[in-house]
A and B are shown apart, each in its own frame.
Chain A
């Protein structure tokens, strides 16, 4: 039995590494994806293109504007003369934010009345708009507070520092500098392992069927379980190899910290790869051609990645969708990856994810192996 399995394994390894396309598929996509995601995928917002329309032309209004020019978040590109121009500039997409200060701004402030700052935001990109509005509010709040303090200093008997106020002390954990790369790189590892293991496994089996060599193998003394093992073990190992490769790129190239233990990562990776082998085998049972396998793979991979919390938080999805994500192995693997990489937590915290992945892998492998054995008949 072991001898036959060894023979089968040797054949598989030769097949994988002899085919130029498979060889490229093993190493090129991980590295390309890692680089693109590492560099292009950022939701940070800096240098928001901004225009100023100042009807007041006072020292106070210039002071307010200078707080925007000094901020790294805003890039004041133009000083406009009338309101129609705001419309034009925003329509042409030249600016995202326009600040309008009406005549009488300084006067209102001086008289102790509420002065108004009009802000126009192109919110067609809601995320950028949301963050921009947040920054504008912070700048304006500081301006208002300083103005009020100066006013109190002049008019009253007590120091403004006596006025009670709450200061929010920001204590970011795990990703202290709010670096997008730190968020995306562990996620990309999960994505890549998913795509590689599923498509390689599915292709390997379907190809044998398509070119007719499956029948040849079936007439040899190789048993069915030996065939399945022979087909999955190489991709299991390749999956582990890929995990190691992209993890190394992540730590050495992108300087993403690795704070947890390699052992825990290995356990998570093994469980996740088992799930993906189950999916790959399943796809191979419903596909006659490599073509179909590819399409089916796409149909599985896309939702799996979208509903894993890879790019956007699960808590923002509709409730029914959030419930469905519990069936998604990638969701757990990403939690494990980010937990180990950034939070440095161990099994004491990550055990629920491990249990979930074990359960899913048992169910998926059981279903696909049964189906697979039937499809051989």
Chain B
């Protein structure tokens, strides 16, 4: 590898990028767009679930009980109706996701002692939200029961017994259980995957399409120099984009960054190498801009989105799919970047994942150069 030839290729590539304004704009606009779309669009926090109530008793006690739903930030009680069909209509139309029905003998049963059932009709179309809203309703009911029990025991002249069990829950790393803290660092990984492979696949395929690749090959430049020279400028762009996204994550979305910057940069570098090499390999094989960019998107975006554990936890997937995720590089980076952001994990805990990324980077680079040699032969 000769230094001056390498520099010449790099210079040529940088000039080309600078002159191609639309592509350059994309490199800035795409990360911003994705960051905002995911940061604001993907939230699992369940708040203000629309609730209808049907209080068949209408007593002071039933109203008192329902106040606890009103007071909760997880629910917003929109309307009280006076028939079942009205509830079902509201659930059908999606006007509410949860409906609470209080029976006619609510306060009577509570006063005489014994249990009384209240119905929680939940729209389970979105099973996750439904599950969480039932869990919140359950805790409201539990708290209310505790008070009922105390009152009753007192009224019957018994010693008031403190609640037997208290749970101290410590949530580590993401104290307020905000889904942005989990999702936004993941978006950084997605953006790197998309930008890295998309950009490289475009530019190399363009050389093939326009026939300038043949010209390059007929110069003394060796394939390795060509690859390195072409990838270095994109590597720089990728790194700038990553920092831009990390900055947005930290200052705009206020995600805590607890790790070391050195570890962060190291892992980003490895992952960028992986996606750039992948984009390079794809474009060498595809040879047309359109096919290359489509293939790159399919090879990076979809797996990074669906199979990396970004939104859907890997350990909940069926075993066949779990095995497949081991060959998705984004999977390893996703876990590293989250650990670096939220857990502040030191390097030793991340070695396995980083090693996997290094292996992918080496393999893909070898694959890309081999494919290049072959296409020339």
A and B, one complex?
yes
A211 on interface, CB distance cutoff 8 Å: no
Q: Which residues of A in the span 284-336 have a Cβ within 8 Å of any Cβ on B?
A: 290-292, 294-295, 298-299, 302-303, 306-307, 311-313, 315-318, 321, 335
Across the interface, which residues of B come within 8 angstroms of A240, CB to CB? none
A27-46 vs B: 1/0 string, CB under 8 Å? 00100110011011111111
- With most chain A CB atoms within 10 A of its CB, the pick from B41, B109, B138, B306 is B41
Q: Which of A6-14, A139-147, A274-282, A364-372 contacts B (4 or more CB under 8 A)?
A: A139-147
A294 touches B171 (CB 8 A): no
A117 on interface, CB distance cutoff 8 Å: yes
B119 touches A91 (CB 8 A): no
Given A131-B135, A165-B115, A172-B130, answer yes or no on A302-B48 (Cβ-Cβ < 8 Å): no
Q: Closest A-chain residue to B95, C-beta based?
A: A349
Distance between A288 CB and nearest chain B CB, rounded to angstroms: 10
Across the interface, which residues of B come within 8 angstroms of A49, CB to CB? 315
Given A291-B290, A306-B37, A311-B311, answer yes or no on A167-B171 (Cβ-Cβ < 8 Å): no
Distance between A356 CB and nearest chain B CB, rounded to angstroms: 13
A137-180 vs B: 1/0 string, CB under 8 Å? 11011011001100100001010011111111111111110111
Given A134-B135, A162-B113, A176-B124, answer yes or no on A316-B45 (Cβ-Cβ < 8 Å): yes
Q: Which residues of B in the span 293-348 have a Cβ within 8 Å of any Cβ on A?
A: 293-294, 297-298, 302, 306-307, 311-313, 315-318, 320-321, 335, 338-339, 342-343, 345
A56 on interface, CB distance cutoff 8 Å: no
A295 touches B169 (CB 8 A): no
B263 on interface, CB distance cutoff 8 Å: no
A130 touches B115 (CB 8 A): no
A39 touches B161 (CB 8 A): no
A129 touches B50 (CB 8 A): no
Q: Which of B2-10, B148-156, B235-243 contacts A (4 or more CB under 8 A)?
A: B148-156
Partner of B168, one of A40, A92, A118: A118
A36 touches B306 (CB 8 A): yes
- With most chain B CB atoms within 10 A of its CB, the pick from A36, A124, A311 is A124
Partner of A123, one of B46, B93, B114, B174: B174
Q: Which of B177-185, B212-220, B222-230, B357-365 contacts A (4 or more CB under 8 A)?
A: B177-185
Given A114-B163, A147-B164, A166-B144, answer yes or no on A303-B37 (Cβ-Cβ < 8 Å): yes
Across the interface, which residues of A come within 8 angstroms of B127, CB to CB? 43-44, 175, 178-180, 182-183
Partner of A306, one of B41, B94, B167: B41
B71 on interface, CB distance cutoff 8 Å: no
Given A164-B110, A175-B125, A180-B127, answer yes or no on A90-B115 (Cβ-Cβ < 8 Å): no
A128 on interface, CB distance cutoff 8 Å: yes
A170 touches B165 (CB 8 A): no
Given A114-B163, A167-B117, A342-B125, answer yes or no on A119-B316 (Cβ-Cβ < 8 Å): no
Distance between A41 CB and nearest chain B CB, rounded to angstroms: 5
Across the interface, which residues of B come within 8 angstroms of A169, CB to CB? 117-120
B313 touches A174 (CB 8 A): no
Partner of A126, one of B45, B130, B290: B45
State A317–B117 Cα separation when bound (angstroms): 33
Given A42-B316, A93-B335, A129-B171, answer yes or no on A21-B306 (Cβ-Cβ < 8 Å): no
Q: Closest A-chain residue to B135, C-beta based?
A: A134
B34 on interface, CB distance cutoff 8 Å: yes
Given A47-B315, A114-B162, A294-B290, answer yes or no on A131-B124 (Cβ-Cβ < 8 Å): no
Partner of A316, one of B47, B145, B168, B302: B47
B137 on interface, CB distance cutoff 8 Å: yes
Q: Closest A-chain residue to B338, C-beta based?
A: A124
Q: Closest B-chain residue to A45, C-beta based?
A: B316
Across the interface, which residues of A come within 8 angstroms of B38, CB to CB? 306
Given A114-B163, A165-B145, answer yes or no on A128-B122 (Cβ-Cβ < 8 Å): no
Given A168-B120, A291-B202, A345-B92, answer yes or no on A178-B167 (Cβ-Cβ < 8 Å): no
State A235–B205 Cα separation when bound (angstroms): 28
Distance between A327 CB and nearest chain B CB, rounded to angstroms: 14
Across the interface, which residues of B come within 8 angstroms of A134, CB to CB? 131-132, 135-136, 138-139
A261 on interface, CB distance cutoff 8 Å: no
- With most chain B CB atoms within 10 A of its CB, the pick from A121, A127, A299 is A127
Partner of A158, one of B29, B109, B156, B171: B156
Across the interface, which residues of A come within 8 angstroms of B135, CB to CB? 131, 134-135, 137-138
Partner of A115, one of B139, B164, B297: B164
Partner of A164, one of B116, B158, B172: B116
A316 touches B46 (CB 8 A): yes
Q: Closest B-chain residue to A125, C-beta based?
A: B182
State A312–B110 Cα separation when bound (angstroms): 38
B260 on interface, CB distance cutoff 8 Å: no
Q: Closest A-chain residue to B26, C-beta based?
A: A295
Across the interface, which residues of A come within 8 angstroms of B42, CB to CB? 306, 311-312
State A180–B125 Cα separation when bound (angstroms): 9
State A90–B171 Cα separation when bound (angstroms): 11
State A134–B128 Cα separation when bound (angstroms): 12
State A149–B65 Cα separation when bound (angstroms): 23
Q: Closest B-chain residue to A133, C-beta based?
A: B169
Partner of B128, one of A92, A112, A127, A306: A127
B166 on interface, CB distance cutoff 8 Å: yes
State A93–B127 Cα separation when bound (angstroms): 26
A144 touches B291 (CB 8 A): no
- With most chain A CB atoms within 10 A of its CB, the pick from B26, B110, B126, B148 is B126
B138 touches A117 (CB 8 A): no
Distance between A48 CB and nearest chain B CB, rounded to angstroms: 9
State A130–B182 Cα separation when bound (angstroms): 12
Interface set of A (CB-CB < 8 Å, partner B): 21, 29, 32-33, 36-37, 39-47, 49, 90-93, 109, 112-131, 133-138, 140-141, 143-144, 147-148, 151, 156, 158, 161-176, 178-180, 182-183, 290-292, 294-295, 298-299, 302-303, 306-307, 311-313, 315-318, 321, 335, 338-339, 342-343, 345, 349
Report 17 cross-chain contacts, Cβ distance below 8 Å, ordered by A residue: A33-B302, A36-B307, A40-B306, A49-B315, A116-B167, A118-B168, A124-B342, A126-B44, A165-B114, A168-B137, A171-B122, A178-B124, A178-B131, A183-B127, A291-B293, A313-B126, A321-B40
Question: Other CB < 8 Å A-B pairs besides A316-B45, A317-B43, 4 of them?
Answer: A134-B138, A166-B116, A168-B137, A182-B127
The 8 closest A-B pairs by CB, nearest first: A134-B135, A306-B41, A162-B113, A172-B124, A123-B171, A178-B127, A175-B124, A43-B128
